[in-house]
Structure 1
Amino acid sequence: MQTVIAFIIVFGSLVFFHELGHFIFAKRAGILVREFAIGMGPKIFGMMKGETLYTIRLLPLGGYVRMAGEDVDQIELQPGYRVGLILNRDNVAEKIYLNQNVQNPNVLFMEVERADLEKELWIEGYDEENQFVRINVSRQAIVVENGTELMIAPLDRQFNSKTVGQRAMAIFAGPLFNFILAFFVFAFIAMMQGVPTYEPIIYDVVENGPAAEAGMQKGDFVKAIDGDPIEDWQELSGTVQEKPGEELTFLVERGGQEIELTMTPDALEESGKEYGQIGVMYQSPVEKNPLKALAFGVTQTYDYTVLILGLLGDLVTGQFTIDALSGPVGIYKATETVAQYGVYNLMNWAAVLSINLGIMNLLPLPALDGGRLLFFGVEALRGKPVDRQKEGLVHFVGIVLLMILMVVVTWNDIQRFFF
């Protein structure tokens, strides 16, 4: 149960911040956001606030921000429709009932002749006394049909009416917020636990190893190897690994005195490659500094981004196969393992997943944010949008292929963990 809760919190947070990016920049562009959903499938909770419906859905495997104009959600009043209108004090329609009887004495019934609910916002037709009337419609008018309410979306509130830049930013903001979330999580962990200084200080010495036999002790500060200054632990480790079987002279500081120690790294082999090891353990000292914590958040986000992009490159070049990929089941099992090592490790894992989610969504594939951004780029170059039906078909095919990939990856996870 603890793992289930951890998984829902971690994955839900990633989805929430991703969709929050879409939501904020859509609102900034003046786009009507109809729904902000966390999860997919049937609705288990919903709350209408302002012009947006906020929902939590059954399957914690994603989410979405539904913007006016993206789907076929526009209301068309065809000639002959019988509608009921509730007017405000200025005789402007605020609520429109479609083809249903409404028991309200304040409702004006009319048969529609013509209507414009996108540009000029009016309805023309004949009232119950067969008089021709023209009623202006509010920009926030609600259309009610079969008990379902839907706010009209004037053309300037629709997604496709915005500039290429505004639409691209509304889509790009989702992945962007995943990187921002990762930065803040890494920075928060660093503020709480301290920022590693990576000073080349020996944490412990393995018995009978080259370092122990040379007289190296816990707490020794390594200043140089073969006369070359050592700035941090990574440089120390790299130097030792590159010189298996070669005699090295270490200059260490111990108790305020400098001591020279000579040792020869053991030659070990991994994946057909030889490397050196002297038998010491390391645990970086930490420093609690808010500014350095923020810088640590930036560097960690950058480093993990480069690492994940490198793994993607290996996938493209065939250095590892699709069998190495993990889906929801694999992420769940990894979350179960990480959660056992404490909340900070779980937060670190969430930050890495957030970067991964941001990168994956930016891939130029149909149905992903990157695929949509690719179409916006084509539109910017052509000076006109790609045919909506053709673009929709490409995204539909992309969704089908992604679902197939998800099934394959999930089946691989099930076989890996349960068989």
Structure 2
Amino acid sequence: MTSLLAFLVVIGISVVIHESGHFLAARACGVRVDEFAFGMGPAVLSRQGKETRWSLRLFPLGGFVRLAGMGEPGETPCPPERSFGGKTAGQRFVILAAGSAFNLLLAWILTVLLLMGYGILDLQTPRVGEVMAGYPAQQAGIEPGDRIVGINNRKVEDWKAMASAIRREAPKGPVHLEVEREGVLRFLTVEIPTDPKEKAPLLGVRPARRTMGLLEATTQGWGYSWRMGMEILSGIWRWVFRTQKVDLTGPVGIASMAGEAARQGFWEFLSFLAILNLHLGLLNLLPFPALDGGRLVFVGLEAVLRRKVPERYENYIHYAGFVLLLTMILFVTWKDVSRLLQH
């Protein structure tokens, strides 16, 4: 139940944000929006606004914004100046790209909130954030907030230096620690055996977290989002060209991960939502038929060739792309279910 509720929340937020991007861009460009729908299938609830019908569909997967002039069957006639097809290539490009832009913007905003509220592991200092139960650190009396500033009479300045010193010195025998607590130095001697799982000496401490102010979080948020985005695109590249095995995840896998993130806590759930929106934003921009990126390719061709690709040919290509996407989603979902049943 937790996984299902978490899945509905993350999908609901992500879809509404994405479609809101298309909706607001279309309105800004003067395009008539006939419908804003959340979900797929028959409408369960709907309300007709002044110009736009708002609907909730039976299956809470995806959503859409129906724009005038996109060739939908049964469409109410629309003057060219209010039609999507009647807008310039630049305006149509903005409308199509706005959905992904909103997902990427949300991912960045959530990253900023995470950096301000939850922070990052502070590896610049040897300050202890957590002491693990049953490990040598707990037995020696180390507490959260302590700073391990020396190991076997050698000073350490940061977490990496401290961890390296422990790995180097622990196999030799008892380790002498200099621990600073509230400005007072304490000297501890502790045996640090090799952990059978990690196959390395483990003191049993984790680094403290450091939160950021608004200005630092704003700039660092761009950096974190950019690096994660590059990792996502790199993974897509490796999958397409088969240079490395990459596991794909469908709706069932996403639901499982959303549930796990929700069980871990608020900040973990927020982090998952940020990463999911980063994925959705970038994946929708891929130049594949039926995706926003595929439609952007046709707008780009129009700008280069100075004429539109015949609508029926474009529709055939997008339909074929949709069938391929649906087939891939069903295959990945089957793989996800198989993995869950095995576990």
TM-score class, shorter: 0.7 to 0.9
1:309 aligns with 2:236: no
Partners of 2:211 and 2:268 in 1: how far apart? Answer: 18
Q: Which has the larger share of strand?
A: 1
1:320 aligns with 2:259: no
CA distance change for structure 1 residues 19 and 205 in 2, over 3 Å: closer, same or farther? closer
CA distance change for structure 1 residues 389 and 205 in 2, over 3 Å: closer, same or farther? closer
> Is the contact made by 2:156 and 2:162 (CA closer than 8 Å) also made in structure 1?
no
Name which of 90, 94, 97 aligns with 1:169: 94
Partners of 1:244 and 1:19 in 2: how far apart? Answer: 57
The aligned counterpart of 1:135 is none
Normalising by structure 2, we get a TM-score of 0.80
Name which of 249, 265, 269 aligns with 1:342: 265
Partners of 1:275 and 1:164 in 2: how far apart? Answer: 60
Alpha-carbon distance, 1:44 to partner: 0.6
Aligned to 1:31, what secondary structure does the other structure show?
A: coil
The aligned counterpart of 2:84 is 159
The aligned counterpart of 1:384 is 307
Name which of 280, 288, 304 aligns with 1:357: 280
Partners of 1:32 and 1:398 in 2: how far apart? Answer: 26
Normalising by structure 1, we get a TM-score of 0.67
Partners of 1:205 and 1:344 in 2: how far apart? Answer: 21
Provide Cα deviations, 1:283-311, integer angstroms capped at 9, x if missing partner: 42333633344345434423432332232
Alpha-carbon distance, 1:251 to partner: 9.9
> Is the contact made by 1:195 and 1:296 (CA closer than 8 Å) also made in structure 2?
no
The aligned counterpart of 2:206 is 282
User: Which letter does structure 1 place at the counterpart of 2:59?
Assistant: L
Name which of 268, 291, 299 aligns with 2:215: 291
Number of corresponding residues: 333
Alpha-carbon distance, 1:370 to partner: 1.1
Gaps of 5+ in 2: none
Aligned to 2:36, what secondary structure does the other structure show?
A: strand
Provide Cα deviations, 1:392-414, integer angstroms capped at 9, x if missing partner: 11111101111110111111112
Partners of 1:15 and 1:371 in 2: how far apart? Answer: 19
1:201 aligns with 2:124: no
Q: Where do 1:135-154 residues align within 5 Å? A: 150=76, 152-154=77-79
Higher-RCO chain (CA-CA 8 Å, sequence separation at least 6): 2
Provide Cα deviations, 1:208-263, integer angstroms capped at 9, x if missing partner: 87x999x99555536699999856x4x5489679989999x999672547899999
Partners of 2:189 and 2:309 in 1: how far apart? Answer: 69
Q: CA RMSD in A?
A: 3.8
Identity of aligned residues (%): 32
Provide Cα deviations, 1:182-233, integer angstroms capped at 9, x if missing partner: 2222333444x34336143134378787x999x99555536699999856x4
Aligned to 1:159, what secondary structure does the other structure show?
A: coil
The aligned counterpart of 1:415 is 338
User: Which letter does structure 2 place at the counterpart of 1:376?
Assistant: V
Provide Cα deviations, 1:4-42, integer angstroms capped at 9, x if missing partner: 332212111100000000111111111111111110110
Gaps of 5+ in 1: 76-149
> Is the contact made by 1:242 and 1:275 (CA closer than 8 Å) also made in structure 2?
no
